Amino acid sequence: AQKVTQAQTEISVVEKEDVTLDCVYETRDTTYYLFWYKQPPSGELVFLIRRNSFDEQNEISGRYSWNFQKSTSSFNFTITASQVVDSAVYFCALSEANLYVGSQGNLIFGKGTKLSVKP
Amino acid sequence: DAGITQSPRYKITETGRQVTLMCHQTWSHSYMFWYRQDLGHGLRLIYYSAAADITDKGEVPDGYVVSRSKTENFPLTLESATRSQTSVYFCASSAGVEIFYEQYFGPGTRLTVT
């Protein structure tokens, strides 16, 4: 069955520290997609990245980087030189490409990691 | 304004009442979704729709009804609200023709059932 685990419920860092948010997933499919979303204190959900299961290249976008490792079923997210504005709940999510009977057919979210960046 | 909107943003209702949450998107996206967000559960899918007049259940559909007569609208109705349906509800739409494209979320509706 599909499952996304974000073991870190809360993380607190001081500004300018690097921080890594862990995401481990389970899927029976060979084709799937992984996502990260950010939910700032204002409450909206902001899409950050999508990766497919065939592309294991790490991705960097400014201070954000993502490390996808199929061997460990992980899709970790690192913020370099964290800032107060990075304080948010971050969700990792999984979507399989195929719909099975009984499949939820959609994004399966982890329970989120609350990141607090203190000045 | 372009994007995805939800109304109302806040709603308080009584147990047993029917309440409808509205969702409207201006992108002409095919897929639309309803989630609820609760502490300790993250986001859970209630219903989704692949196109007008095509809807399907998600993880937690009981007590909810959806319809999609027009591509841009996807209302969610609680037929007889219960306290357990107190939650934040998010509507989303998907950019791609397949279900696994990234989703863009509305601002959410905070519903309290007393």
Q: Does B50 touch chain A (CB under 8 A)?
A: no
pLDDT at A98: 61
Using a CB–CB cut-off of 8 Å, the residues of A that contact B are 32-33, 35, 37, 43-47, 50, 91, 95-97, 99, 104-107, 109-112
Question: With 80 as the cut, is the pLDDT of residue B95 above it?
Answer: no
Predicted pLDDT of residue A105: 53
pLDDT digits (tens, 9 = 90+) for B56-82: 888 899 999 999 999 999 999 999 999
Search chain B and give the residue with CA nearest A53: B100
CA-CA distance, A109 to A93, in Å (whole number)?
4
Chain B closest-CA separation from residue A118 CA (Å): 23
Which chain A residue shows the shortest CA-CA distance from B97?
A97
Q: What percent of chain B has pLDDT above 90?
A: 68
pLDDT range class, residue A97, cuts 50, 70, 90: low
Any CB–CB contact under 8 A between B108 and chain A?
A: yes
Q: What is the pLDDT of residue A95?
A: 85
Q: How many contacts, defined by CB atoms under 8 Å, are there between A and B?
A: 53
Choose, out of B33, B100, B105, the residue to mutate when testing the contact with A (most A CBs < 10 Å).
B100
Contact A90, A19 (CB under 8 A): no
Counting Cβ atoms within 10 Å, is residue B75 exposed (0-12), middle (13-18) or buried (19+)?
A: middle
Measured between alpha carbons, how far is A66 from A56 in angstroms, rounded to an integer? 10
pLDDT at A103: 47
Pick from A35, A91, A96: which is nearest to B102 by CB?
A35
pLDDT at A104: 47
Task: Name the least confident of A20-29, B21-30, B97-106.
Answer: B97-106
SS3 labels along A46-109: EEEEEEECCCCCCEEECCEEEEEEHHHCEEEEEECCCCHHHCEEEEEEEEECCCCCCCCCCCEE
Q: What is the largest CA-CA distance in chain A?
A: 49
Contact at CB, B41 and A104, closer than 8 angstroms? no
Interchain proximity A44–B59, CB inside 8 Å: no
Percentage of chain A exceeding pLDDT 70:
92
A81 sits in the region (left: phi over 0; alpha: psi -120 to 50; else beta) called left
